[in-house]
Amino acid sequence: MNERYSRQILFPGIGKEGQDKISRKHVLIIGAGALGSGNAEILTRAGVGKITIVDRDYVEASNLQRQQLYTEEDVAEKLPKAAAAEKRLKAINSDVDIRAIIGDATPEMLEELVPDVDVMMDATDNFETRMAMNDVAQKHNIPWIYGACVGSFGMSFSIIPGKTPCLNCLLRTIPLQGMTCDTGGVISPTVQMVISHQTAEALKMLVEDWDAVRTSFVSFDLWRNQYTSMKMSKAKFAGCLSCGEERTYPYLDRENMTKTTVLCGRDTVQIRPANTGEISLEQLAAQLSSLGYNVKGNPYLLSVEMGEERMVIFQDGRALIHGTKDLTHAKTIYQRIMG
Ligand SMILES: [Zn+2]
């Protein structure tokens, strides 16, 4: 046991006491894509007591270039990322209590998950979920670590409620909304650099070395050889609706959550039905087969195809409509299939 973590214990910033702390902590990772798989792997190897990881997508061939937990076998089986990540993380370190959730990290879900969480990792690919994480973190006093990348450009920032500005404060000075992977692809080293910044911060927080936590906003461009560290102490905004004196947590309002979203970096629309209850995939498979659809599946999802139409339906009724970015068109396809 000690042998396993000996190099980390030898490191003065952690030591035996720090390792004991790490082994009692719970980290929540939102997203199991590129940033999520790297964050999860490093924290699992570091011996964090419990890791919960949430993701709404499944593994595809285009993920393998940078999403380090996944294999060709996961692609062939169309495994949900959360399920594939859980399997791999358990094989890496059986000491860690790994919990995987296949689903959308809605404000509701986040609020349910956070009460016993020590640190939250941002590994999402969308602005809406990040802002919900930001509000949940402020409301429940959970430190979290923002991370994002596109192309060769990445950034990271540590947010400690009551101490640092929050993400909503930062929006006043940094246009974070523009950071989506839609625009220019991404190279794996960018992902790894953001993961390094995020997990180093997480380790500091887990051993409670709060003075060591970085307070600046880091951004870099690995292709243009730039590295910037911006002081953010003045960015805290008293009127901020997420962390200010008269806060309302605007991003936890369910009305603000769109039900239909275009997914990052691909021609795919996600549709989340309003009344979520589990659906019988078996029954649906039989029904759709009889209508002439080509249906394949695993215990977590159904993959449905006919002509140009391709979609994946999860157990919670959520669907990914492929081959389109048009929300109305996607809804029409969804209604035709789901009735
Ligand atoms: Zn704020």
* pLDDT one-digit tens code per residue, 161-209: 999 999 999 988 877 766 555 557 899 999 999 999 999 999 999 999 9
Instruction: Please name the residues in contact with 171: beta carbons below 8 A apart, sequence gap of 6 or more.
Output: 177
Residue scoring higher pLDDT (336 or 218): 218
For the entire predicted model, the pTM comes to 0.89
pLDDT-derived band at 257, boundaries 50, 70, 90: low
- pLDDT above 70 covers a percentage of the chain that reads 95
- Ligand 1 centroid to Cα of residue 90, in Å, is 37
HSE (CB half, 13 Å, CA atoms) of 302? 24
- Ligand 1 centroid to Cα of residue 21, in Å, is 29
Of 72, 77, 68, which Cα lies nearest the Cα of 35? 68
Question: Measured between alpha carbons, how far is 244 from 238 in angstroms, rounded to an integer?
Answer: 5
H helix or E strand, kind and range, residue 262: strand 260-262
Q: Are 319 and 311 in contact (CB under 8 A)?
A: yes
- Ligand 1 centroid to Cα of residue 7, in Å, is 38
**What are the DSSP E strand ranges found in 56-203?**
97-102, 119-122, 144-150, 153-159
* pLDDT one-digit tens code per residue, 196-254: 999 999 999 999 999 999 999 999 999 999 999 999 988 999 999 999 999 999 999 86
Question: Measured between alpha carbons, how far is 337 from 339 in angstroms, rounded to an integer?
Answer: 6
- The CA-atom distances, in angstroms, between 48 and each of 41, 194, 224, 287 are 11, 19, 35, 44
Q: Are 66 and 181 in contact (CB under 8 A)?
A: no
HSE (CB half, 13 Å, CA atoms) of 233? 3
- In this predicted structure, the answer to whether residue 256 has a pLDDT above a threshold of 60 is no
Question: Measured between alpha carbons, how far is 297 from 304 in angstroms, rounded to an integer?
Answer: 8
Question: Measured between alpha carbons, how far is 7 from 216 in angstroms, rounded to an integer?
Answer: 28
- Ligand 1 centroid to Cα of residue 130, in Å, is 13
- Ligand 1 centroid to Cα of residue 245, in Å, is 10
- Ligand 1 centroid to Cα of residue 158, in Å, is 13
* pLDDT one-digit tens code per residue, 92-130: 999 999 999 999 999 999 999 999 999 999 999 888 899
Residue-level pLDDT at 29: 98
Beta bridge partners of 95: none
Q: Encoding tokens for residue 78?
A: 């169309």
Residue 240 annotated in active site: no
- Ligand 1 centroid to Cα of residue 114, in Å, is 19
Question: Measured between alpha carbons, how far is 323 from 309 in angstroms, rounded to an integer?
Answer: 7
Considering the candidates 149, 166, 169, 181, report the single residue annotated as catalytic. Answer: 181
H helix or E strand, kind and range, residue 194: helix 188-206
Q: How many degrees, rounded to 5, is the angle at CA 48 between CA 125 and CA 92?
A: 80
Question: Measured between alpha carbons, how far is 279 from 302 in angstroms, rounded to an integer?
Answer: 11
* pLDDT one-digit tens code per residue, 39-87: 999 999 999 999 999 999 999 999 999 999 999 999 999 999 999 999 9
Which of the residue ranges 230-234, 278-282, 306-310 has the most confident prediction, judged by mean pLDDT? 230-234
